Structure 1
Amino acid sequence: MSLLTRLNDDMKQAMKNKDKERLSVIRMVKASLQNESIKLGKSELSEDEDLTILSRELKQRKDSLQEFKSAGREDLVEKLEMEIEIIQEYMPEQLSDEELSAIIQETIQETGASSKKDMGKVMSAIMPKVKGKADGSKINKLVQQFLN
């Protein structure tokens, strides 16, 4: 089932359940998908493109969450946490720390990286492998640990 089909089904269910918060988040995600599809001139996006957009939406909210927490805006923090939770339902299952470490070590061996100077090479090789399945900042920290 494509992401757009799933979003449409969930949107109908949210309307029936009068779940305004879920409905709002689904509409925002759908709008982002449709905007991207128009921008790229495609009628339908690939799974990879869908995942990129979902990841971007999630990252925006996580960044905003940190800002709101530091500003003491608890009302907005709660709203964003709920939005993040809903968007994560559409993301692929996240990799465990052990799985992520194994992928990072394997990629470091593949690229022949040995120091922090090779960080960019390692990151560019890892990101396509774990797209949507792990947070970029978490990957960055683990790669730094392994390259020390």
Structure 2
Amino acid sequence: MSLLERLNNDMKQAMKNKEKDKLSVIRMVKASLQNEAIKLGTELTEDAELTVLSREVKQRKDSLHEFDKAGREDLVEKLRTELTVVELYLPKQLSEEELSEIVTETISEVGAKSKAEMGKVMAAIMPKVKGKADGSLVNKLVQQHLS
């Protein structure tokens, strides 16, 4: 089942269950996917869908951080709910241990020895973990392994 089919089915279910918040988030995600397809002028590949979903998660996490700093608990709670819904459509996230293994393997593949080569490592690792790990966590682990 494609992502759009899943979204449509979940949207119908949310309507039946009168889950307004979930319905709203599903509609936003669906709109983002459709806008990206229009922008590219073609059907989205699984990889492109992952990119859109990752962007949606990142936007919400950034906003969550800002609202939390500003003390806007009402908006923080709303964004946490939205994040939970969007994350349902992402692939299973890698644990820190699994991610650490991938980082170690990639560093040896690339032959990186210092933090100066961090860009090469990040360029090699991000396609491997796309949609399965947060970029800031990957960055942190790469820095730890290279120091």
Q: TM-score, normalised by structure 2?
A: 0.99
CA distance in 1, matches of 2:103, 2:55: 22
Q: Which amino acid aligns with 1:26?
A: I
CA distance in 2, matches of 1:2, 1:46: 10
Q: State whether structure 2 residue 38 is matched by structure 1 residue 47.
A: no
The alpha-carbon deviation at position 81 of structure 1 amounts to 0.2
Q: Which stretches of structure 1, 4 residues or more, deviate above 2 A after TM superposition? A: none
CA distance in 2, matches of 1:105, 1:35: 37
CA distance in 2, matches of 1:109, 1:6: 39
CA distance in 2, matches of 1:8, 1:97: 32
The alpha-carbon deviation at position 61 of structure 1 amounts to 0.2
The alpha-carbon deviation at position 105 of structure 1 amounts to 0.3
Extract unaligned runs of 5+ from structure 2.
none
Q: State whether structure 2 residue 143 is matched by structure 1 residue 144.
A: yes
The alpha-carbon deviation at position 65 of structure 1 amounts to 0.2
CA distance in 1, matches of 2:30, 2:92: 20
Q: State whether structure 2 residue 10 is matched by structure 1 residue 10.
A: yes
The alpha-carbon deviation at position 36 of structure 1 amounts to 0.2
**CA deviation map 1:52-104 (0-9, x unaligned):** 00000000000000000000000000000000000000000000111101100
Other structure's SS at 2:132 match: coil
CA distance in 1, matches of 2:6, 2:56: 17
- Figure out how many residues of one structure are paired with residues of the other and give that number: 147
Counterpart of 1:37? 37
Indicate the percent of aligned positions where both proteins have the same amino acid: 73
The alpha-carbon deviation at position 16 of structure 1 amounts to 0.5
Extract unaligned runs of 5+ from structure 1.
none
| CA RMSD, Structure 1 to Structure 2 (Å) | 0.4
CA distance in 2, matches of 1:97, 1:71: 30
